[in-house]
Chain A
Amino acid sequence: MKASLPFHEFHARSAFSFLRGASDPEVLMERAAQIDLATIAITDHEGFYGSARAYHEACKRGIRAITGATLEIDGAHVPVICATRTGYRILSRHLTNRRLNEIVAHDEMNRGDLIALTGDREGPVIRHLLRDDRQAAMQAARGLIQLFGHGNVYVEILRHGLRDDAKINRALIDLARHLRLPLLASNAPLHAVRENRLLADAFICLRHHTSLDAAGILLEPNGERHLKSPARMARLFSDLPEALENTQELSDRINFTLEKLGYEFPCYEDETGRLMDLDEQTQCLREKCEVGAKLRYKEITPKIRATLEKEIGLIGRLELSGYFLIVQDIVDHARKEGILCQGRGSAANSVVCYVLGITNVDAVKQKLVFERFLSEGPTKNEYKSWPDIDIDFPSGDQREKVIQYVFKKYGARGAAMTANVITYRGKSAFREMSKVLGFPPSIADRFSSLGSTPYHWKRSDTEAPPTPEEIEAERQEVFEGQMAYLLPPSHPRLVALEKLYHAVLGLPRHLGQHSGGIVICNQGLDEVVPIQPANMPGRTIVQWDKDDCEDLGLVKIDLLGLGMLAAMENMIEIRRRKEPRFELAGIDLEDKAVYNMLHRSDTIGTFQVESRAQMATLSILQPDDFYEIAIQVAIVRPGPIQGGLLNPYLRRRKGLDKPDWIHDDFEPVLKRTLGIPLFQEQVLKMAEIIADFTGNEAAQLRKAMSFNRSDKRMREVTAKLRERMIERKITKEVQDKVVDAVGNFSLYGFPESHALSFASIAYWSCWFKVHEPAAFYTGLLNNQPMGFYSAHSLIQDAKRHGIHVLPVSCIHSLVTTEVVDDSTIRLGLHRLRGISKETQERIVRERSNEPFDSLADFLSRVSPNAKERRVLAKSGALNDLPKVGHRRKAMWQVELPLYGDLLEKGRDAEEDNEILAAMNLHERLAADLAIQGASTGPHPMKLWRQSHLEMGLVNARDLQSLSHGMPARVGGLVICRQRPGTAKGHCFISLEDETGISNLFVKKENFQRMRLTIVSEPFLMATGRVQIAEGGQRTIYVDEVYPLRGAEPVHAAESHDFH
C-alpha cells in the first residue's frame, strides 16, 4: 500500500520553530504514523530543536524522522536537510556559527551532504514570483545551486488551494526545467491536523505583536498547512507524478538519522594536552584511584581493593574512564580554588567516585550497590543510559567560577549548558492567548493559574486511564471554574479562548538555561548539536534539553548550586581560624551532642531537617545513627508521605509493628528500612527479583521514575512490570504493593546514595549548630535567602541559643556578617537593603585607611548617595560615629548637602544640637525590619506583651509544659503558613514569639472559614486545645483565629507561605 503512494514530507516545522509551528514534534510524528507517512523531515527554524524528540517518537512509531533546519538567508527561509552524517555535522556547526556570530570552518556545503529546498512563500524563490519577478526568482535559484551544489536543490511545489498556486507553480516548473532541477511535492506543514490552524494563526499574531483582529493578511488564508497523507497528496499531484516520485528518490538518498549522531565521550588530556586513548585513560584512572584510596582509607582492605578493581574494570569496559577523569578534574579544580563541592545522586554508590573525591559517602562502609550507578546491562545497541554525576557547589559566584573553568578549558565549542525548555503554563498561556484575542490585560491579571495540572496517571494500573473525553471534560470544568469571575459564559470569544488556551498549554515557548547541566565534548560539540548563546553573558546552551541530550546519549554533568554549601564554606573558614587543619571529613559522625539536638528538634537553620514536618518527625524518629538521618531526609517528602510510608516506618522503628517484607525474597533488600521500599535502589532491586528485570529494563524503570516529562513512560514500564509478575504467578496483593512502590517514586523519591549525600550535609550543619553556633548563624546570615526561615527568625533563634547579635555599624561591621567571639556575631553591611556593594566596600576601605572622625568626614570620604545616606542613618549604622549618638540625629545631619571644605565649620557647630527626638524601641524595631528584614532588638511580641498583659497569651516556651487537651490561647508573628498537598486541605501555621515557635493546626473547614484572617494578618492570635504528638511536640488544634489587636504591621518580618 505504502509503495503505491510515494510521498514523503521534507518540510515540516514543529512548535520548536517558536511561533512558526503549532504542534509538538511528538504529535507530528504520531499523526504522520497515523496517515502512513513513512518519512518526515523536521526543519525547525534556525535549529535542530525539535529533531531529538521527533526522532525518538518516530523510532517508536516505526517511521523515519529526518533531521533538517530552516536557514534564514537574506531574509528568505531555506529548508535544508541532512543527507549524511557529514551533512549533519556541517549544518550543526553552520547553525552554531550563525548563532554565536563567529565563523569556525566546516566542510563545503555543496558536496551532496546537504539538500536544500526552494521553500514556501517565505522562501527565496517564491517570494520573487509573488511579485511577478521571474528574473529575480531565477537568480535566487541559481544562488541556491551555487551554495548547495547542482543536484542538491529541489524545487518545492505546494498546493494549498489558493488562487495563485497555479500561476506560481507554473513559473516554478518552468524554472526547474530551465535549471534542470528536480521538482518535489510538499505541503510545508506547520501543524499536525487542520484544527491546529487556530493556534498557528495565534502564533503569527504573537510573532508580529498584533491581535487577530488587526493581523489581516498576515494570517494564513485557509487551514491547509497540516500533515497530509500520501493518498491525499497523490490526488493533489495527480497531474505532476514526478514531484511525488522525487520524494521517494530523495527519501532513498538520505541515509542519516539521529541514530548515527556520532557523539563520543570526551577524552582526557595528559599534561601535554594530548588526548589519551582508552587504555591510557583507564590506567590513569587506576593510578588516581590508588592515590585517592590512600588518602581516604587508613588501611586499604582486600574488600575495598576488590571493589575498586571491579568498578575500574567495568568503567574501562564501558569506555567511561575519560568521563570520570574529567569530572575529577573539575572537582580537583574546585578544591584547589577552595570551593566546597560534593557529588550527589547515584554517583555516591561508587567507591571510585569516593576515592577520586567526587563524593563524600564511603560506598563500602555504607554497603551501597555500584550497579545502581553503572551496570554492564545497557549496551550501545540497546537503550543508552550513561552515568549521571551531579555535583553540588556553593551557589552564587563560586559555582559560576567552576562553570567558567569548564567553558575555558573546553572552549565555547566544547562545552555548553543544556537547555531548559520553557513551556506555556497556565498564566502565560492565558495571557498570550487572551492578548491575541483582543481581551484587555486586566483579564489576564485576574486569571489565577490552574495550580496543579490534573494528574491523569493513576497509580493502580487496574484502573483504566482516563479517556480523551474524560480529560477534555475535566479540562473544561477547570477552565470554566477559572473563568467564572472573568467573562460571562455567553461571551462570543470565550470558545476561541478556551480552544487556544488548551491548545497552547505545554507547547515550547522559549529556551532557557538549565540550572546546572553541562555537556562536554572535546572533539567538537558544535558538530554534535548546535550551540547558541544563553541569556547570561559568557554562557552558551545546546539546542536540546537535558532529557533530549540523555536520550541521544550525550553525557552531561550537573554542576548544581546549593546555598547550604556556600554557608558551610563560610562556617569552615571561621572554624579554621581556631583549627587550621579542620576538614569536614574529620567530623565524628557519632557525636552524641548532635543526636541530642536532633532529638530535641532544635534544628532551625540546619540543612534538610529544619522544616516543621521534619522537626515533628525528628522527635518521633529520634535518629541515633547517620543512616537514620538519611532515612529522615528521604522519608519526609511528598512521595513517601503520600504513599503512606512514613507512619508504618515510624511504628516499625518503635517496635509497635513487625516489618512486612511484601515478598519473602525482598527481605535482604528492605531490611535496613524495615520493609519500607524507601529508596530508588530498593525499588529497582525489587523489580529485578520479582519480575526478572534485566539491567536495561531496570535502567528504563529508573528513567521513568525520574522522568518528569510524561506519564506515558511510567505507564508502559508498570504495565511491563505487572505482566512479568503475572507470568511468574505473583499474588495480586504483592503485585499491587510493588506497583504502588513504583508509583510513589514517580511522585519524587530519593536514591539511597543521594539521601546519604544530603544526610552528610545535614549532619555537618547540625554539628556546626551544636559546636560552632556563632559560625553557624554567621554562615547562614551571609547566604540569605536560603532554607526555610527568614533572617529575622534565624537571629531570634541565635539569641535563644545564647548568641549575642550586634547591630550593623559603620565603625565595626565588615561587608559580611562576622564572628566577634564564640558567642557574639556582628551583622555586616550587606544586611542593609539599598546600600550598594561598592558603597559597602568603600566604607570598609576608607575606615581601614583612617578611622572616621565625624559624620561629615564619613559622608565626604564614603560619598553615599542621598538614598544610601538615609538608609545608613535610619538603620543606626552611623550611631557609633563621634557626636552622633542616635539615629534621628544622624538622619537630620545626613540631609544636609555636602559643601566640601567650604562650609565645614557651620556643620560642626550644628552637630551638638538635638533637633529631632531619638527613636523609641518600637520605632527602632520598625526601622530595622524595614531596612534589614530583621532586628537585633527585642522580638516584636515582647514589646506587644508588655502592653497587653491582660490578654494572658501562652508563650511558645510555656506551651511545651501544658498537658494534652488543655485549652490555650497563643499569639505571635506568623513565620509560616502551609497547606501542603499531602495535608488534604488542612493548614499549618507557625507563630514566633520571643521564646520560640508555636505550631498551630487548622482543620480544613476552619481554614476555609477563617481563610482571610489567616492569609492576611501578619500577627495572629489563636485559641484551641493543646495536642501532644507522639514525639512530645505540642501543637494547638485551633478553634478560632483572630488578628492580634495592637500589633503593628510594620513590626512584621516576611513569612514563608505555601497555601
Chain B
Amino acid sequence: MAALRACPEARGKPCAVLEADVDPEAIIEKVKLPLQAVNDAARETGIGPGWPLNRALVRCPDLKVLTPDPAGEAQLLREMIAQAESITPDLEVACKDTLLLDLSRTSSRHAAHLGELEVADIWPLHARAATPDLARLAVRHEDCHERLVTSRDIARLPLELLHFLPGGDEFLPLLKDWGLSKLGDFMQLSRQELTARLGPQSGAWHDLLHAKTCRLLRLHRPPESMEQTMDFEEPVTATEPLVFAFKRLLHVLSARLAARYVAVKTLRIVFHLERGGVFLREIRLPEPRVEEGELLRPIQVLLDSLKTGSNVVGLTLDVETTLPTAAQRDWFIRQLPQPERWTDTLAQLEGLLGTGKVGIPVPPVSHRPDDFKLLPADGHTPSPQGGFFPSNSMPLRRFRPAAPVMVAADADPRQPRPLALLTGPCRGQVMETRGPFLHSGHWWDPEAAWRRIEWDVRLAGDQLLRLAFTPPDRWVIDGLYQ
C-alpha cells in the first residue's frame, strides 16, 4: 500500500512489491525474487504473494514492479495508530501492517467506528475475535473481514495462516507434508500427540486456535519527547534574557530527567530567528549530566560566542537521553575529574574556531602532505602510535597557509625544476636544488586526485626553502628550513 501510495500513477494497474529492496531499473537481473505483495488487479491475473518475479511476469506481462517503501510504511502505520486510538488506547502493533485492538473496555458505539476508519483513502480491513491471536489470523483472510469470528470459522481458514504466528514458518512445511490444508485439520489432531511430536509450541497453537488461551496485549506507548519550545513576546537581542529562558527550560528538564532516571547526552538547541529560518546548535556532553547548573554552563559558553545575525524570537530545546553513569567518583581516579570544566573548555574553543575544528589530531592517514585526522575530543585519548622519524634532520618552519609564489622554472612540463623565485616573501635565484620529491594519490576520485612535486632549494641569500609545485602551474613555499 505504501509503495502504491508513493507511485500514484500505478493505481488500478496490476502491481507487485518485491521482498528485497532492489533498483527497479535492474529488476530483470533478479528475476527470481519472490513477490512480497500484489494488488487486486494483479491477483486477478492469477499471481499472488510469494510467486517468483519471473513467473509472475509471464502470467502478467504488464505487472508493475514496485520497490518497498519503508518510510511510507512507517507513515501509514502512524496514521493507522492515530485512527485506532480514536477507538481505544489499548492497542498492540502486531506487525508493520496489523494492529490488535482491545475492545473489551470500549463501548459498542465506539467499536462500531471500526468499519469507518480511513487511512490514506482506503478503509483498513478488520476482523473481531474472542482472543487477540485469533483476530490476528482472521484479519488475514477475506472470509472473516468485518465479522466476529469463532474457532469454528477459524477452522475453515487455510493452514498457511500459521505463518503469521511466531515460529510458524519452521513447522509449516512439515504440516503441509502431513497433508494438512486447513487450520481445522490441525485443530482436529490430538493436542497431546502434537506436543509429543512437535514440542510445546504446537500445543500452544492448538490452544490458541481453539480460543483456549488469551494473552495480554503488548500495549503501544509512543516514546515521550523532552522537547520544549518557548516563544518570546519581543525579539531578544542580548544574551542575558536567553540565559534566563534557558534556565527556565532546564529547570523543567532537570526535574523530568530526574523523575525518569535518565541523563542528557546531547543538547539540541534551535533558535528561531526574526528574519525567518532557524539556527541549529548541538552540544555533546563528555559525560551524561542531569543537574540544571551543569547543563546551563555549556549553553552559556555557546551563547557567549553565538552570532545569529538576527534577533531571536523563540527557541526549542530538545535532548538525547541516556542512562546516567554509575561510576563512584570519590573512590576512583577518573580521567576527567571535572568533566564539566572540560566541556566548558571545548565549547569555548569551538565557539572560537568553528564547528568541527576542535579535536585530537592523529598522525597522517595518507601520503598527502599535511594530512591528518581529527578525533572527537570528548574525553577519549587516542592510543599512542609508533615514534615519528623525520626524513631529514633540519627543522622546517611551515607556512600556514603555504605562500603562493611565481617561479621561473625549466621547460620540463612533468617535473619543472625551479630556477628563481620571482615573488613572495623570499625572492632570488635558486643556487642549489634537491629533488624532485614526487607524491600523488587519490587517483580514483577525479575531484580529489592530487599530484605534488617538491624541491628543497637554496637561494642566493643562503635561505633554505621547501618549494612545492602542483600541476598545472601552481608554486608555493611550503616552509623555511631553520
- B-binding residues in A (CB < 8 A): 130-132, 160-164, 166-167, 197-198, 201, 212, 216-217, 219, 221-224, 437, 442, 446, 448, 485-486, 492-493, 495-496, 870, 874, 888, 891-892, 895-897, 915-917, 919, 923, 927, 1012-1013, 1015-1017, 1043, 1049
Contact = CB atoms under 8 A, between A and B. Distances in A.
Given A223-B440, A493-B445, A896 B177 contact: no
Residue from the set A130, A216, A493, A916 with the largest chain B CB neighbour count within 10 Å: A216
B454 A163 contact: yes
Contacts of B438: 160-162, 221-222, 224
B54 A917 contact: no
B156 interface: no
B364 A896 contact: no
A131 B388 CA distance: 8
Nearest to A918: B179
Contact of A919 (B23, B26, B179, B454): B179
A1012 B392 CA distance: 68
Nearest to B25: A485
A896 B196 contact: yes
A916 B178 contact: yes
A558 B55 CA distance: 45
A1049 B438 CA distance: 65
A915 B196 CA distance: 14
B189 interface: yes
A874 B25 contact: no
A1014 to B, nearest CB: 9
Contacts of A163: 391-392, 437, 454
Contacts of A495: 446
23 contacts: A132-B389, A160-B438, A161-B437, A167-B392, A197-B443, A201-B443, A216-B366, A217-B367, A219-B367, A223-B440, A224-B438, A442-B22, A446-B23, A446-B30, A492-B445, A870-B174, A891-B178, A895-B198, A915-B189, A916-B180, A917-B179, A1016-B58, A1017-B55
Interface string B169-189: 000001001111000000001
Interface of B: 22-23, 25-26, 29-31, 52, 54-55, 57-59, 61, 174, 177-180, 189, 193, 196-198, 364-367, 386-387, 389, 391-392, 434-441, 443-447, 454
A927 B59 CA distance: 26
A446 B178 contact: no
Contact of A221 (B58, B389, B439, B445): B439
A219 B364 CA distance: 13
A277 to B, nearest CB: 62
Nearest to A1015: B54
Contacts of B364: 216-217
Contact of A496 (B25, B435, B441, B445): B445
A890 to B, nearest CB: 11
Residue from the set B54, B445, B446 with the largest chain A CB neighbour count within 10 Å: B445
Nearest to B197: A895
B439 A1016 contact: no
B179 A916 contact: yes
Given A201-B443, A892-B178, A1012-B31, 12 more contacts: A130-B389, A161-B435, A167-B391, A216-B365, A221-B438, A221-B440, A222-B439, A223-B440, A446-B26, A446-B30, A496-B443, A1015-B54
Given A216-B366, A496-B444, A895-B198, A485 B179 contact: no
A919 B178 CA distance: 9
B474 to A, nearest CB: 18
B436 A1012 contact: no
A224 B444 CA distance: 17
A1043 B58 contact: yes
- The 4 A-B residue pairs whose C-beta atoms are closest, nearest first, are A895-B197, A164-B391, A161-B438, A1016-B54
Nearest to B178: A916
B29 A446 contact: yes
A1012 B174 contact: no
Contacts, number: 113
A892 B190 CA distance: 12
Given A874-B177, A895-B198, A916-B178, A217 B54 contact: no
A821 B158 CA distance: 47
A1043 to B, nearest CB: 6
A162 B452 CA distance: 12
A217 B389 contact: no
A166 B177 contact: no
B254 to A, nearest CB: 42
B197 A222 contact: no
A733 B298 CA distance: 94
A649 to B, nearest CB: 41
A436 B180 CA distance: 51
Given A496-B444, A888-B178, A917-B179, A217 B52 contact: no
Contacts of B443: 197-198, 201, 496
A893 B216 CA distance: 36
A164 B456 CA distance: 13
B58 A1012 contact: yes
A485 B174 contact: no
B179 A923 contact: yes
A915 B447 CA distance: 72
A1017 B58 contact: yes
A891 B444 contact: no
Contact of B440 (A222, A891, A896, A1013): A222
Contacts of A161: 435-438
A163 B179 CA distance: 78
Given A492-B446, A1043-B58, A166 B434 contact: yes
Contact of B441 (A221, A891, A919): A221
Contacts of A917: 179
A916 B439 CA distance: 78
Given A161-B436, A448-B29, A1012-B57, A896 B197 contact: yes
A216 B31 CA distance: 40
Contacts of A201: 443
Contact of A897 (B174, B196, B387, B454): B196
A874 B177 CA distance: 8
Nearest to A887: B177
B26 A915 contact: no
B178 A437 contact: no
